[in-house]
């Protein structure tokens, strides 16, 4: 009988751990990020020097990624589709790569037909400013420059839940 109780408690503990790590609140990052001003940073897109703050007025889906990260590679086609959906509405996907190998970065963009603006942060200072420790990690930033949501891990950006939440920001809801 004692062995059955110990086994049951072990299974319950394992189920609890799995639930905690699979729960949306864990996968979606810290709730405390919502409402905070997105840290500004300089970047270069298409040869043009700018800052994240120059994109105020747009909804920005800021995605930290790398070519050596299989989940990032998996997520890229979905981010391309999201870019096509939100760009006409005043939104954009902005990718920030942490690749040290600039040739691998350039090859990846070409091979994957990446259509959203990207920036290669070889210093990795930008993601560290955001507290990013896993890739991919994404921040949805509202038109006011405030973080609406932090999302950890690869996502299907065509999931109705994500589309509705981003469109709500695009339409000021």
Q: Give the C-alpha distances (Å, rounded to integers) separating 154 from 46, 51, 55, 79.
A: 26, 25, 24, 10
pLDDT for the residue 26 = 41
Q: Do 111 and 52 have their domain in common?
A: yes
Q: How far apart are CA 161 and CA 87, in angstroms?
A: 18
Give the domain extent around 95.
34-170
pLDDT for the residue 70 = 95
Whole-structure pTM over 0.85, yes or no? no
pLDDT for the residue 8 = 58
Q: Do 145 and 166 have their domain in common?
A: yes
Q: Do 14 and 38 have their domain in common?
A: no
pLDDT for the residue 35 = 85
Task: Quote the number of domains for the chain.
Answer: 2
Q: Worst-scoring range by mean pLDDT, 4-8, 84-88, 149-153?
A: 4-8
Cα 171 vs. chain centroid, distance in angstroms?
21
Contact 152, 116 (CB under 8 A): no
pLDDT for the residue 101 = 93
Contact 50, 44 (CB under 8 A): yes
Q: Do 92 and 147 have their domain in common?
A: yes
Q: What dihedral do alpha carbons 34, 35, 36, 38 form, nearest 10°?
A: 80
Residue 60's DSSP bridge partners are: 92, 141
Contact 155, 137 (CB under 8 A): no
Q: Do 54 and 111 have their domain in common?
A: yes
How does pLDDT run across 9-61, given as a tens digit for each residue? Answer: 555 545 444 544 444 444 444 556 788 999 999 998 888 999 999 999 999 99
Q: Give the C-alpha distances (Å, rounded to integers) separating 71 from 18, 65, 154.
A: 20, 9, 6
Q: Do 8 and 63 have their domain in common?
A: no
Residue 5, pLDDT above cutoff 80:
no
How does pLDDT run across 97-155, given as a tens digit for each residue? Answer: 999 999 999 999 999 999 999 999 988 899 999 988 889 999 999 999 999 999 999 99
pLDDT for the residue 165 = 92
pLDDT for the residue 9 = 55
pLDDT for the residue 145 = 96
Q: How far apart are CA 153 and CA 134, in angstroms?
A: 7
Read off φ and ψ for residue 67, nearest 5 degrees.
-70, -25
Q: Do 20 and 81 have their domain in common?
A: no
Handedness of CA 18, 20, 21, 22 (dihedral sign): positive
Contact 61, 140 (CB under 8 A): yes
């Amino acid at each position: 009988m004692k062995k059955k109780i110990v086994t049951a408690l072990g299974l319950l503990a394992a189920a609890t751990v799995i639930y905690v790590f699979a729960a949306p609140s864990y996968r979606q990052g810290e709730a405390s990020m919502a409402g905070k001003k997105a840290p500004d940073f300089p970047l270069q897109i298409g040869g043009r020097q700018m800052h994240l703050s120059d994109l105020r007025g747009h909804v920005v889906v800021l995605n930290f990624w790398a070519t050596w990260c299989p989940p990032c590679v998996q997520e890229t086609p979905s981010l391309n589709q999201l870019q096509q959906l939100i760009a006409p509405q005043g939104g954009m996907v902005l990718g920030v790569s942490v690749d040290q190998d600039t040739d691998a970065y350039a090859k990846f963009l070409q091979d994957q037909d990446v259509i959203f603006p990207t920036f290669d942060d070889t210093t990795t200072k930008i993601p560290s400013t955001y507290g990013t420790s896993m890739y991919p990690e994404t921040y949805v930033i509202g038109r006011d420059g405030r973080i609406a949501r932090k999302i950890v891990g690869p996502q299907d950006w065509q999931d109705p839940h994500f589309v509705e939440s981003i469109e709500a920001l695009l339409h000021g809801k």
